[in-house]
Amino acid sequence: MAYSIYSDLSPYRDTGTLCVYAGTSASKAVEVVDLILAEFHKLKQESLTAEELTRAKDQVKGNILMGLESSSSRMANLARQEMYFKQFFTVDEVIARINEVEAAQVQAMAQRLFDPERIAVTLLGRLDGVKLKRDRLVC
């Protein structure tokens, strides 16, 4: 019966992050941020090519399969599925869903998520006076 008490717990269900990591010198940091934001803008405005979509799907599928090699990753995945979906999906089901994704869906999601008001940037390291203002985070 304890299960029913916790069955509605869904921590972080309505949150998430999309992280882009880049390593560069302080002198190129703002340029790198600008390039990333330009890619976000491009995703919002243009549909992915078939080749880009295939590469992205292959990357995601590869990451999923690599995650199966660690028992802690497998257990974390099962916990996430229980919290978010209240059911478990096999690897084949997940791969099939990834294969169903279309370029137009990616573009629609980019348009929804890449809102300049919601973008945050963290710069770490010896920044030597690098300054980045919010009005620069336009995509």
From CA 44, how far away is CA 40, in angstroms rounded?
Answer: 6
Question: Is the whole model's pTM more than 0.85, yes or no?
Answer: no
Q: Is 2 within a domain? A: no
Is residue 4 scored above 70 in pLDDT? no
Q: Find tokens 């620069």 and name the residue.
A: 136
Q: Is 120 within a domain? A: yes
For position 38, what pLDDT does the model report? 96
Q: How many domains does the chain have?
A: 1
For position 1, what pLDDT does the model report? 37
Q: Cβ–Cβ contacts within 10 Å for residue 106, how many?
A: 16
Q: Is 79 within a domain? A: yes
Q: Which domain holds residue 70?
A: 17-136
Categorize the per-residue pLDDT at 11 as very low, low, confident or very high, splitting at 50, 70 and 90: low
Q: Is 76 within a domain? A: yes
Residue-wise pLDDT for 88-134, tens only, equals 899 999 999 999 999 999 999 999 999 988 888 999 999 888 988 99
CATH code at 91? 3.30.830.10
